[in-house]
Structures are given as structure tokens and as C-alpha cells.
Amino acid sequence: MPPKYDNAILTGACGGLGQALAAELIAGGARVALVGLDIGVLHKLAAAAPERCAIYTPDVTDAGAMQAIAGDWMQRHGTPDLVIANAGVAGGFDPAEAGDLAVLRRMLEINLLGVATTFQPFIAPMQAAGRGSLVGIASIAGWRGMPGNAAYCASKGGLIRYLESLRAELRGSGLHVCTVSPGYIRTQLTAGNTFSMPGLMEADEAARLLLARAARGREHVVLPRRIGWLSRTLSLLPAAWHDRLLNGQPRKPRVGQPGSTAIPGLQKKE
């Protein structure tokens, strides 16, 4: 059995994967800082162990707010041994539409900058403790650009490189940096997809595998593994063939289209 985490910070706790991760951590006896925007969902999660949970509702891109959360949590519960930067948004993107530039900007802020602002306040205390895991939720979509999905691919591709750099920076410090690249997980973010989603996983299964593999010290986790094999196989195709194949698939809904999900803090100007 892998070691269990005792003290965890979790952003994006209101989403499908976030709720599953929260439930798994709480059931395992961890103290958990639940960070998200839906106060009702957070209260339901915390009700399972109110003495071990705290609720925070910041914008994860606000460095000052995240530093305040870190200070409050560590004053009450000490230095965490696990920080999961799970907050993220998704949506289609049309590079010819001026209004979609705001979508790109906000997606980069949440999916990339939000991870950095989540980790930053905990790095020095965790280094001083000489232990702990920093887990960033990237995506298979960050491995290669896809038509109609440029904003999301760019944000997750940038995140993969950020985590790679952070891992190199912290190697030997006792801190473990884990990059998680999910394929398709049954959550609100994938509910509006009309294209094929091979290897679609349930959120609770993904949460269990993610935590178990991170606890074993895995630096890269792909969920499910077979979607990683499929992606690598497709990457062997000539680029023009690969692009033609993807161009034939339905596009992810853009903001405002049926099936799209809201992006917090987005101020889209047409």
C-alpha cells in the first residue's frame, strides 16, 4: 500500500475530479484545505469531516489571496505534505475571432498561472520540511496542439513545461513534483463534448489512481495509461495526416455555445 497523505491543499475542489480527490483524501484521514468557487459544494465535502477541513473561495490567479490562504492553513495545521493544483477550465477556441482572445488569456491565467500561484507559498516551507508532493493537473491535450482547442492546448502545454522546470529546480530537495496528464474523465468539462472520447474514466477511479501513483513517487501520471499509448501512436503519423484526422472531428464548444462550460472571471468582448 502506498503511504497516505496527512495534510493536503486541493484547488478546483468543486469540479468532478476535484470532488473525487477531496472525498478520497478525507476518507483517508487527511486534513484538507478545500479551495473552490461553489460554496455549497465545498460545505457538502467538508461535512464529511468538518474538524479536518477548511473552506476557501479565492480566484487562484490572485497571488495575494493564495498566500493568505497558505498562511492561514499552515498557522492552523502546519506544512502540507501534498498540494494539488487542480483548478482548471476548458473551452473551444477560434483564432479568427477577436473575442476569443479573452478566452485564451483567461485560460492561461487559470490553467497555468493558477498552478504557479497555488504552489508558490508552500514551496519554501515544504523545502524546510524536506518532504512533500506538488501535483499539477495537466492534460494529454498539452502534448500536441489540436484544431479548435488552441487555448486549452497552449495552457496545458505550458503547464507541462512549468512542472518540468519546477521538478528540475527542486530535485534533491525532498519535494516531489508530479505531472498528471488525464485523457477524458467524466466531469462537467467533458459533458458537452460531441466527439469520441476514448478511454473515458469515472472521476472516482481517476482520483484513486492519481493519489496512489503520486504517493509512490511517480513523476508522470497518465490517466488512463492506454490513452497515452494512443496519443503517442498517433504522434508517429506525419503531421499533415495527424492534422487531417483531427480536423475531421467535431470541435469542443466555444464559450456561449451549447455544451460549453463557464470560465470564471472571463470578460469576453465581441
Q: Residue 174's domain is classified under what CATH number?
A: 3.40.50.720
Write the burial class of residue 163 (CB in 10 Å: 0-12 exposed, 13-18 middle, 19+ buried).
Answer: buried
Give domain status of residue 269, yes or no: no
Give domain status of residue 267, yes or no: no
Q: Amino acid identity of 202?
A: E
What was the pLDDT predicted at 233? 66
pLDDT at 234 over 70: no
Q: Which grid cell sits at 265? A: 472571471
Among 12-21, 79-88, 158-167, 236-245, which is the least confidently predicted range? 236-245
Give domain status of residue 252, yes or no: no
Give the dihedral sign, CA 265/184/156/91.
Answer: negative
CA angle centred on 89, ends 87 and 91, rounded to 5°: 170
Cell numbers 464529511: residue = 48
> What is the value of pTM for the model shown?
0.90
- Confirm whether 5 is a catalytic residue: no
- Cis ω before 80 (30° cut-off from 0): no
Give domain status of residue 70, yes or no: yes
Q: Mind listing the pLDDT tens digit for each residue in 135-179? A: 999 999 999 888 889 999 999 999 999 999 999 999 999 999 999
CB 136 within 8 A of CB 150: no
Give domain status of residue 261, yes or no: no
Write the burial class of residue 136 (CB in 10 Å: 0-12 exposed, 13-18 middle, 19+ buried).
Answer: buried
* Total domain count, the chain: 1
Give domain status of residue 270, yes or no: no
The residue from 5, 152, 162, 184 that is catalytic is 152
- Containing structural domain, residue 52: 7-247
Give domain status of residue 260, yes or no: no
Give domain status of residue 92, yes or no: yes
